[in-house]
Amino acid sequence: MKLNIALLAGDGIGPEVIDQAVKVSDAIAKKFNHEITWKPALTGAAAIDAVGEPYPDETHEICVASDAVLFGAIGHPRFDNDPSAKVRPEQGLLKMRKKLGLFANVRPTFTFPSLLDKSPLKRERIEGTDLVFLRELTGGIYFGEKGRRDEGETAFDNCVYTREEVQRIAKKGFELAMTRSKKLCCVDKANVLETSRLWRETVQAMEKDYPEVEVAYEFVDAVAMRLVQWPNSYDVLITENLFGDILTDEASVISGSMGLMPSASLGAEIGLFEPIHGSYPQATGLNIANPMATVLSAAMMFENFGLQEEGKAIRDAVNSALDKGIVTEDLADGGKAYGTKEVGDWLANNI
């Protein structure tokens, strides 16, 4: 297979972890006789510095012309610490999601047998956890009207959803549940929010089209609690943008490190694959960042192309590295810590 992949390294540790995912992907291409053409493009603070825009038109054109996007991370402290900044790296991410139509964020959370005791939760609570959040990504409060009134003393952010927006993410949730254990949980706050009531009634109306799927409806605060009590009781969860943003970060620490969890953002035409961690600017250039989440995001990319064996080969290499202690400092636990590049080299050589 010939693949054209847009490569958006971004900021902070983004370029370092992306380099390792490229190494591993190229090893996969060599092993399975594929051809990958990488198309680098600017985004985030790096793009602001270069052209004054966090998601330039040139970058968008490269993404649209590609089969998928492999993305690192964006963000820089100089923007975080300046509330008055008019242009921010995160604006580029929201713009990219909107322009590419990436409405479904797929965030798996799973455990690694060799790391069960590194989780902040007890082994018996997390063993067997294998859940997936589908977070709606282009609607809700992040994209609603926002502003100030009363001479800046009052601020507002409007949360708006259409039935169509709910239907398309719910459809992906039902379809994913059918490939797994046929359990779906709709996460909302329907006892308080009108948008949540629209979510609930829309999903309820779709149940008849998927009679084999067992559907549960839970309030977001209850799910936040159960994620740390019995995460292995969940399988596929669907929710709106803000709730999903918070809950997926909570779920990510179950595995023992945010540096291990991949994600995908899917639309009708193209998929974007990225680690869930941020740009971690304090570690930039130090060769200490964990590249495994980005490498596993590449595995999700291959699987999205229908290349299941290739994805499995990457996952097997990561599991082997974890078993043998070929890990960065966040997982070394007092033992030998390998550098970002060394872990990438080991994974590529293993494949």
- Catalytic residue numbers? 142, 189, 221, 245, 249
CA gyration radius, the chain: 20
| Contact predicate 260/292, CB 8 Å | yes
For the sheet with 271-275, list strands across it: 35-40, 2-10, 68-73, 271-275, 262-266, 104-110, 130-136, 236-239, 183-188, 214-219
Dihedral angle, C-alpha 118, 121, 125, 130, nearest 10 °: -70
Check if the beta carbon of residue 132 is closer than 8 Å to that of residue 237.
Answer: yes
The contacts of residue 43 (CB under 8 Å, 6+ apart) are: 8, 10, 54, 55, 56, 59, 71, 74, 89, 92, 93, 96
Closest residue by Cα to residue 308 from 320, 300, 297, 318: 300
> What is the amino acid identity at position 22?
V
Q: Are 221 and 190 in contact (CB under 8 A)?
A: no
